[in-house]
Each structure stands twice: as C-alpha cells, then as structure tokens.
Structure 1
Amino acid sequence: MNTTLRRRSTLLAVAGTALVMSLTACQSDADTESASAPSTAATVASTPASAGASAGAAAGQGAGTSDATAPGGPARAAGPNGSAGSADASAGDSGASGKQVAAATPVCTAGDVRVTAATQDGPPYTHIVLTARNSTRHSCRLTGFPHIQFLESHKQDVPSVAKSKPASPVVLEAGAPAYALVRLSDGGVDEENEPVSAFSVVLEGDSTVIAVTAPGSDGIAVDPAKALTGYWTPELRNGADDF
C-alpha cells in the first residue's frame, strides 16, 4: 500500500511539473506575441506616412516643373534669347522688310499713271495741282517730282521745292493718286505771263513725255521766271506745300 501511494505521488508530481512547464510555455508564447505586435503595428502606420512624404516630394517636383515651363514663368523670362526677345526681333524685321518691299516696288512709268491738272483756289489762279493716278492693277513707286515744261520757248524744267519732298517713298496701289502742287506765277498784273493751253510732264525714271491739258477754257497764265513745282506726295500738306 505504501508502494501504491508512493507511485501516485510520483505521478502527481510529474503531472504537476508538466502542467507548470506547459503554463510557462504558454506564458512565454503570449509574451512573445505581445512583444511582436507593436512592431508590426508601427510598420503598418509608417507606410501611409512614407507614402505621404513621397507624394509631397513628387508634388513639389511637379510644381517646380510646371513653374519652369508655364507661360510667363522663369523659363520664359530666362534672358534676351527668350520668346519675347524673338518677338521684338521679328517686329524689327517686319519694319525692315516693309522698307525693302517699298524699295522693290517698280517705278511708275508713263504707261502706269494718268496725269491731270486742276486749278487751286480762285482768281488770280497762281497754282495748279497735278494728279498722277495709278491706272494699272499693280503697285508702282512714284519718285521725285514732275519734270514740267510749260512753253516751247523755255526748255528748262520748272525748278522743284526741296521742302516739299516726302520722308518716305510714294507707293501707289492700283487706282491710288499722288499730288504735286505747281506755282504758275505771283498773280501780279505786271508779270510777264504767257498763256498755256497744254504742257509736258516727264516722270523720274522714264523719258516718255506726257501731254497734259491745262485746266480752264482759256488755259492758264504762266510766268516762267516764277514757276515752281513740288514733289509727288500722297496728299497736299500745309507748310511743306505752301510756296
């Protein structure tokens, strides 16, 4: 009987030891899991933060690129070689090309224009206005002043007035006119005026003589010593054409 009791005590002791060891293992596993859980949670929480930081960096880079390439941004205002400078250069080239086009326009000839004369103001008629109108379908350039001879007895051209010279070439579009003011006399009764019913005009750049009918039924009275002519201009101008 003692032997039996001793065996039961031994079994109970072994079972108790096993139970203690089992509980200790469970406690150790629980502690291990509880210790590892915060680490996993911290990793998961840091992922959105990292993503946000990356997104912010990407947004910053995108914003920087947009500012550099946007109209009016730093890239466009980089220096004199930018688009604004190119536009200014183009404007300058446009003005230069306009002058080149005017210079390249062919000079008007006698066959390009129709020249007529009309009196200016009232009696005594001391001035007439010559009109040269482009009668073609193309542009031409009217240069200088009309070379006028009123009388067969006076072969010299009528002198020109320098102050009436225009600043730029006179380019006549199809149908467009140009004008030249011509002084006939001073209007005095003691002048040596001669009657003129027709006279000749020659354009610069063309030797063809254009016969022009004098205005009025009785023609015009011309004093060859007082006659003067202005340059061809798109319009008559006060001051420059007063002579």
Structure 2
Amino acid sequence: MRTFRSRSAVLGRSTVLAATGAAVLALSLTACGGGSDTKAAEPAGATVAASATETTVSVGGSHDVRSAGATVAAKPGGKRAAAAAPVCTTKDVTISAARHGGPPYTHIVLTAKNTSAHSCRMTGFPEIQFLESHKQDVPAVAKSKPASPVVLKPGAPAYALVKVSDGGVDEDNEPVSAFQVSLQGGGMAAVRAPGSGGIAVDPAKALTGYWTYELRNGADDF
C-alpha cells in the first residue's frame, strides 16, 4: 500500500533543513573569524602588510617617503629645522662682553642675544678686530666648533670665549676700551670692553672660540 505525503509536509521538511544549514554556517564563520565581518576572518599579517607598505612623514611642508617598517620621528630643532632658520645678523642679535675668570684677566666672553622676533642661526665664530693697527681677524680655535648648528630662539643667547693675552707683564699689551665684532651672517657691531679701564690685549696671543650654546670644558681650554 503506497503512502502519500502531502506537499506541505515536504516543504516543511525542506525549510527545517535550510534553517539548520544556515545555523551551522554561521557557527563556522564565528569560530574562524570571531564575527560575521569577512575582514576579521583574514590572517592578521595580511592587514599589517597592507598598511605598512610605506610610511610618509611630513616635515616643514615637504613629504619624505620611507620604506616599510621604518619608524621616523621628526625632531624639532634638528638639521632640517636649523637649515630653515635664517642666519643671524647684527640686526637680529645684541653683542656684549664680560670678563672671564679672575686676575690676571686673560679671557673675555662674548654674548650674542637674539633680540629679534624670530629664530636665527649663529654660524662660525665672531670675527674680531681689537685694534686699528691690526686689521686681521682674531684666529679661531677649531676644537671649539660645535657638532650641531646653533639656532637661537627669540631671547636666547650664544657664547664665544675669547683669549686676549697670556697675562704676562712683559707682553706687548695694548689697552682696548671698545672693539669691532662682525658676524659671518652679516653686519658689524661695536662692543664695549668690560671693566672701567678696558682690557689689555696682545694681538699676537689673541684667539677666539666658535659660537656655542654654552662654554664647554676642554673645547674652550685655550
């Protein structure tokens, strides 16, 4: 005897099977990817590799593209920032002199203070002429040259140690009450010598250091 199933019974069974299959598929996706988003199912390395193809760093309005995996930090006041700062002239700084050490006073310190409203870069060493009879500049001591550019923010100072004599009474010293300082960036300034009687200068012994942020032991030992 044949058994006939109704059309509605067959359709009901198909619906149950379809629902069961969908549930199994959903559970499989959840186990693999932790969610229903297909991006979450991708291997972790794929997303990292795609985002680390190149690193772009913007410094001073320009773009520098670096290779994958490189970590680049733009340092304020670095070489690129220093190169962007204009060179200091005597219009940007005020130069003064003070005695250094005790008697006999063989050295003075020049201070160049940035009195402008912008940063500027001190280059080289002060070009000094102590006497009208000696037109050549005081020679510089190479070991005092700083390793990095000296960039002065508004109000900031730079220093240069200057040797004026050996302190001997038999030297060919000449009294100096004021002298001339030129900057390699441009301009000349008349600087008043420290002390009520000025300073005693032996042009044959005079030396100058480079402009630096501070006087340094060893580098300024001359």
TM range (shorter): 0.7 to 0.9
Alignment match, 1:65: 39
Contact 2:122-2:185 within 8 A present in 1 as well: no
Alignment match, 2:79: 99
Deviation of 1:170 after TM superposition, in Å, equals 1.3
CA distance in 1 between partners of 2:97 and 2:192 (Å): 7
Deviation of 1:77 after TM superposition, in Å, equals 2.8
- 1:212 to 2:191 alignment: yes
Choose which of 202, 205, 208 in structure 2 pairs with 1:229.
208
Alignment match, 2:62: none
Deviation of 1:205 after TM superposition, in Å, equals 2.8
Contact 1:139-1:173 within 8 A present in 2 as well: yes
Q: 1:48 to 1:91 in 2, by over 3 A?
A: closer
- Partner SS for 1:154: coil
CA distance in 1 between partners of 2:77 and 2:17 (Å): 67
| Structure of larger gyration radius | 1
Question: When the two structures are superposed, what TM-score results if normalisation uses the length of structure 2?
Answer: 0.79
Contact 1:76-1:83 within 8 A present in 2 as well: no
- Partner SS for 2:40: helix
Percentage of identical aligned residues: 57
Alignment match, 1:180: 160
Deviation of 1:75 after TM superposition, in Å, equals 2.9
Where is the strand percentage greater, Structure 1 or Structure 2?
A: 2
CA distance in 1 between partners of 2:55 and 2:96 (Å): 49
Unpaired runs of 5+ in structure 1? 1-27
Letter in 2 for 1:222: V
Which whole-Å deviations, capped at 9, do the CAs of 1:23-54 have from their partners, x for residues lacking one? xxxxx4xx7269xxx98997576445313222
Q: 1:86 to 1:129 in 2, by over 3 A?
A: same
Q: How many residues align?
A: 209
Letter in 1 for 2:189: I
Letter in 2 for 1:224: P
CA distance in 2 between partners of 1:68 and 1:226 (Å): 76
Choose which of 151, 176, 200 in structure 1 pairs with 2:180.
200
Contact 2:164-2:205 within 8 A present in 1 as well: yes
Contact 1:67-1:74 within 8 A present in 2 as well: no
CA distance in 2 between partners of 1:215 and 1:209 (Å): 19
Deviation of 1:153 after TM superposition, in Å, equals 1.4
CA distance in 2 between partners of 1:154 and 1:131 (Å): 23
Deviation of 1:159 after TM superposition, in Å, equals 0.4
Deviation of 1:121 after TM superposition, in Å, equals 1.2
- Partner SS for 1:51: helix
Unpaired runs of 5+ in structure 2? 58-64
Where is the helix percentage greater, Structure 1 or Structure 2?
A: 1
1:102-121 alignment runs, 5 A limit: 102-121=82-101
CA distance in 2 between partners of 1:155 and 1:185 (Å): 17
Alignment match, 2:23: 52
Letter in 1 for 2:104: P
Deviation of 1:104 after TM superposition, in Å, equals 2.5
Letter in 1 for 2:97: A
